[in-house]
Structure 1
C-alpha cells in the first residue's frame, strides 16, 4: 500500500460502519487484502508502507504479526455482523509476505475461512520475492490453500536489478514459476518494471523474452514511477541518474503489448496481460469494479458499501491498537454518489471490459465523442454504450481520464 495517508474523519474505536454501508454488505463481491509490511531490505524506488527489521522499533515483530492480523480478522467479523458473505478473493501483499513462515500465512488464511467462509472457487494470492521462497515453502502454501502467486521479477538484467536495489539473481524468477506449478499453484504471475534509468531496448526485450519462455499465465508490467522521498528520487535530483523519459516508457509499453500478444497473452487492464480470462487476477478486479474488501494490517485500506478507511501505518501502533481491543483504523471517508461516479470512470476505463459512457457528465460525453473520433477510444463489441481504450489510448490513459471526469 502507498505510504500516503488521506485526511478523513476518525474511525470509531470499535470500527463500526455507517448503517447504509453495512446494510449494503453482500450486494457486491467481497475479498480480503492482508498487508505484510516487512522487507529484507528497502528498494530504492519503493514508496510502499514497508519496514526492515532495523526500522521496526519496539512493540512489533514479524514473529507476532500473524496473531495481530488474525485478531483484526475477528474484529472484521464483529463489525460486519453475521451475514453470510463468503470471501471470493484473498490477497497477501507487502512488503514481502513470504518473509513470514508459510505456516503464518496459512494461519491467517484459515482465520478468514473460519470467520467468513471461502467461496468454492476462491482465489488466494500471495506476492513473493524470488529469493524468499524455495520448493518446500511453495508446497506448504499450496497445501494450505493458496492457489495463485505473484513473483517480483522486475528485470533479468543485473545492472537494472542493481539500480532498482533488487536482490534476486537472474534466472531465479523463472525457476520459481516452475516450482510453483509443480507445487500445485493454479496461477502464476511475474511482475516487471520498465523504464529504469540505464535500461536499453535490448535489456527490456530480454526481460520480456525471459518471461515468455517461463510462460506464467499472467504478466504485470509497470512503468517505473519516481516517488518523492525515495532514494531513487534523491539520486535523480542530485543528477546521478537521468530523469524518466516518457517517450521511452511509451516505446517499452508498445514492445510489451506486441511481444506478449504474439506469445498468446491479451491485455485486460492497462498494465496486466493474461493467457485467458480464467487467468485474470480476480482480486484486482474487485478494486477496479468498485466491489468490497477488508484490508488487514498496518496502512491497509478497506472499502465496504461506499465507506473507505485506512489503518494506522506503523506496525508498532497497529499492534498496540489490536492488543487494546480497538480498531486499527486511523481515518475514513464516506463516498458521495459523485465520488463513486468519478472513481468508476477512473477505474473502469482502464479495463478491457470498458466503461459505460452513460455514467459521464455532458462535458464528459463530449470528450468521449472526441476520443472516439481520434481513435483513443473504440466502441466495445457486444456491449452497447460501452467504450474501451485503444492501444494508443492506453498510452494516454491518464489524460483521457482527466478529460472524461471534467
Structure 2
C-alpha cells in the first residue's frame, strides 16, 4: 500500500492523533503493512514508492528498522483506546528481503511487543527470488513469518528484459523449495501483457509457475503508469503498448490453467488452493477493515480515517526522530465515497457484494448485468453480486452500472 504519487488531503497533527470523535472499534480486525522501500534496480513498469541505492541521499538503509520502530511506538499512542493484536502482517515493497532477516525479524518483534500478533496470524514477506536463500527463508520462518510471496513475473527471458527484471528464472524454483523446506506458505506473482509477450510466452510462464505447486498464484495485467520508464518508451514509439484483447486472452488462459490445476479464483487477479491459502491480508483491504501502514509513502485506514506518510525515507526518518508523525495528509471519505469504494472492492472477490449494499435506484441494473453475462444469475437471486469470468474482465463496467 505505497504508491509513488500521494493524494492531497487535510493536515495531520504532529502527534498523529485521530480526528475528534473517531474511536477505532475494538472488534474490527487489524492488519499491519510494513513498507520496505528498497530495490536493487528500478523496474521500468513500477510506480511504487521505491528507491535504489543512489536515490537514498541522507538515508542509511541500516537505520530503517529503528525508524519503523518509532512509528510503531507512535501508533501505540494513537490507538491506545483500542489495542488489537494484528491478524495479518505484510512486508511489501520494494524488495523487503534486501534487508537482513534480523532487520525484518526485529520489525516483526516490535509489532508483536506493541500490539500482539493473533494466534494463527498470517505474516507475509514479499521476496525477489535472487534475494533469498534456503537459510534466510528458514530464519524468516523462525522469526514468525508464515508466508512468502515470490516475484516470478515470467520465465521468458525477453519478457523479463522488457520488464527490466534482473533475476534468474531458475532461482524461482530454488526459492520455492527453500520456502517449502522452511514450512512457509508460498505465493507466486506473475505479470502479463509486457511488450513483445505472446500468448504462448504467457502459457509457458503460467505452466512453469503451476509446476512449482504454489499455494497461491497472483496474475496481474501490466498497467502503464505515467512517469515510468516504460510509459516513456511507449510514448517514444520504442515499444508497443499492451493490447487489451491479448491481455483478455491471457487472463482467460490463466483462469483455465489454474482451474485445471485445482486452484479457485477468489479475487479478480488471485487464485489459491482452497480457502485456507487465500491472502488474508489482501482480503482485509478488499473488505475495508482497519490497517496501519508503516514506512515512507505507506497508507493507513483506521476507523474510517485514511492517511498516508511522506514519501522519501530520509524525510520519514527525520520526522520520527523529532517526535513528529510521518503522515503527510489524511481524509475522511464521505458516505458516497465509502459506498463507491465498497462496491468497487467487494465486487472483485468471489463472495461478491450484497445486493442490498447497492443504492436502491441502481439495483435494477442487476437484471441487465445478468443478461450481459457479467454477474452470476443464481447468486443475484440469493442477493449477491458475483462476477462471471466475463464480468471479471469488465469489472469496471459492472461498477459503473451499479453506481451511475
TM-score, length basis structure 1: 0.97
- Tell me if structure 2 keeps the 8 A contact 1:295–1:302: yes
**CA distance 1:234–1:109, shift in 2 (3 Å):** same
Distance in 2, Cα, partners of 1:404 & 1:105 = 42
Partner residue, 2:202: 204
Structure 1 residue 17: deviation in Å?
0.4
Partner residue, 1:16: 17
Structure 1 residue 400: deviation in Å?
1.3
Partner residue, 1:65: 64
Distance in 1, Cα, partners of 2:19 & 2:345 = 24
Report matched runs for 1:44-193 at 5 Å: 44-58=44-58, 60-185=59-184, 187-193=185-191
Distance in 2, Cα, partners of 1:368 & 1:316 = 50
Structure 1 residue 26: deviation in Å?
1.9
- Tell me if structure 2 keeps the 8 A contact 1:20–1:305: no
- Tell me if structure 1 keeps the 8 A contact 2:24–2:82: no
Structure 1 residue 171: deviation in Å?
1.9
- CA deviations over 1:109-143 (Å, ceiling 9, x no partner): 00001011111011000101000111111111000
| Structure 2 stretches lacking a partner, 5+ long | none
- Tell me if structure 2 keeps the 8 A contact 1:379–1:385: no
Partner residue, 1:355: 353
Question: What SS does the aligned partner of 1:165 have?
Answer: coil
- Tell me if structure 2 keeps the 8 A contact 1:89–1:123: yes
Picking from 268, 271, 274, the partner of 1:270 is 268
- Tell me if structure 2 keeps the 8 A contact 1:363–1:404: no
Structure 1 residue 84: deviation in Å?
3.3
Structure 1 residue 387: deviation in Å?
1.8
- Tell me if structure 2 keeps the 8 A contact 1:380–1:388: no
Structure 1 residue 380: deviation in Å?
5.8
**CA distance 1:125–1:383, shift in 2 (3 Å):** farther
Of 370-379 and 72-81, more deviation after overlay is shown by 370-379
Distance in 2, Cα, partners of 1:142 & 1:383 = 45
Distance in 1, Cα, partners of 2:298 & 2:124 = 16
Question: What SS does the aligned partner of 1:20 have?
Answer: coil
Picking from 206, 216, 222, the partner of 1:218 is 216
Partner residue, 2:41: 41
Question: What SS does the aligned partner of 2:62 have?
Answer: coil
- Tell me if structure 2 keeps the 8 A contact 1:290–1:344: yes
Structure 1 residue 339: deviation in Å?
1.8
Partner residue, 1:256: 254
Report matched runs for 1:264-303 at 5 Å: 264-303=262-301
Question: What SS does the aligned partner of 1:283 have?
Answer: helix
- Tell me if structure 1 keeps the 8 A contact 2:380–2:386: no
Distance in 2, Cα, partners of 1:304 & 1:113 = 19
- Tell me if structure 1 keeps the 8 A contact 2:83–2:115: yes
Distance in 2, Cα, partners of 1:68 & 1:287 = 25
Question: What SS does the aligned partner of 1:12 have?
Answer: coil
Distance in 1, Cα, partners of 2:381 & 2:365 = 20
| Structure 1 stretches lacking a partner, 5+ long | none
Question: What SS does the aligned partner of 1:191 have?
Answer: strand
Distance in 1, Cα, partners of 2:195 & 2:378 = 37
- CA deviations over 1:312-338 (Å, ceiling 9, x no partner): 001111011010011000000012222
- CA deviations over 1:273-293 (Å, ceiling 9, x no partner): 001100000000110001000
Structure 1 residue 359: deviation in Å?
1.4
Partner residue, 1:326: 324
Structure 1 residue 399: deviation in Å?
1.7
Partner residue, 1:3: 4
Question: What SS does the aligned partner of 1:313 have?
Answer: coil
- Tell me if structure 2 keeps the 8 A contact 1:303–1:309: yes
Structure 1 residue 392: deviation in Å?
0.6
Structure 1 residue 368: deviation in Å?
2.3
Distance in 1, Cα, partners of 2:151 & 2:161 = 14
- CA deviations over 1:258-283 (Å, ceiling 9, x no partner): 00100001100000000110000000
- CA deviations over 1:83-132 (Å, ceiling 9, x no partner): 33111000000000000000000000000010111110110001010001
Question: What SS does the aligned partner of 2:61 have?
Answer: coil
